[in-house]
Structure 1
Amino acid sequence: MRYRTEAINSDGGDGTAGVPEGLTVTVSSPLNPDRDPAGTNPEQLLALAWATCLNATAQAVVARRTRTAVRVEVELHDASTGGYEFHVDAFLSVEDASGEETRRVLDAAHARCPVSKLIGGAATVSVHAEEFAEAAASTR
């Protein structure tokens, strides 16, 4: 084992959740009309986890010779089997790279990224190469 952590949530979709090492976040369900607008939710946390992991892996693929950016979109849908499901799309871009080169980096990073390995086989998960944009390379 290289690393281990855990997260604890005792409040469900509204309240707090945390990591014993010190991170505590306010969670707020996007389905709750009285939600705390400063709170986060599973959709945002999933997007952040995958964007961070996939971009760190892309940086390893390009040996940090150029900038890469990843944005992840997560949508909550009603599932045909009842309940809900996530539809997740990741978009990777590489500065000054052709579409073919960006796709090569995306394929390599997606194959190596631990979060991609976890969710990549789901029918509602997709990856896409896109043109690099300065705005995508910085936090919005």
Structure 2
Amino acid sequence: MVSARYRTEASNGVDGRSRVPDGLDVAVASPLKADADPAATNPEQLLALAWATCLNGTAQVLVREQRRTNVRVEVELHPVEPGPGYAFHVDAFLSAEGMTDAEAQDLLERAHARCPVSKLIGGAATVHVHTEEFAAA
């Protein structure tokens, strides 16, 4: 077995905070909780950040950082019919400076096939990727 290139962990305590050892420490709350701290983050936001960061980083590797790329991720929480519970509906939008629609689509497909977060969630029926016109962030 090949050893891991990187390893981390996170914990979510009863104090409403999620932590990464020697790193990120954020207040967390459910977006469905009426009295949730509005400054707290939630799983939907963390998923959006994780995929946007990973997919854009992968795109940057593929273009060898010779072009600017942006990734925008939208995450929605929908009730599962019939319940119980909820499901994420997730859309990623990639744009690349100076690329044609076809070139951007090719980059998106290659990045999505290579990105570890895409590999984790990409098989879900509620996960989609799209290209869009480049706009500097």
Report the TM-score, using the length of structure 1 for normalisation. Answer: 0.92
Matched, 1:9 2:12: yes
Deviation at 1:27, TM superposition (A): 0.2
The 2-side partners of 1:123 and 1:22 are apart by: 33
Unaligned runs of 5+ in 1: none
Matched residue SS, 1:52: helix
Deviation at 1:22, TM superposition (A): 2.9
Q: Which residue of 2 aligns with 1:103?
A: 105
Unaligned runs of 5+ in 2: none
Query: What CA RMSD, in Å, does the superposition of the two structures yield over aligned residues?
Result: 1.1
Letter in 1 for 2:120: L
Q: Which residue of 2 aligns with 1:123?
A: 125
Deviations 1:57-97 (A, max 9, x none): 00011111110000000000001242000000000000111
The 2-side partners of 1:96 and 1:125 are apart by: 26
The 1-side partners of 2:13 and 2:41 are apart by: 15
Deviation at 1:23, TM superposition (A): 1.8
Q: 1:93 aligns with which of 73, 92, 95?
A: 95
The 2-side partners of 1:101 and 1:17 are apart by: 39
The 2-side partners of 1:76 and 1:10 are apart by: 23
1:59-98 paired onto structure 2 within 5 Å: 59-80=60-81, 81-98=83-100
Structure 1 segments, 4+ long, off by >4 Å, are: none
Report the TM-score, using the length of structure 2 for normalisation. Answer: 0.94
Deviation at 1:30, TM superposition (A): 0.7
Identity rate, percent: 66
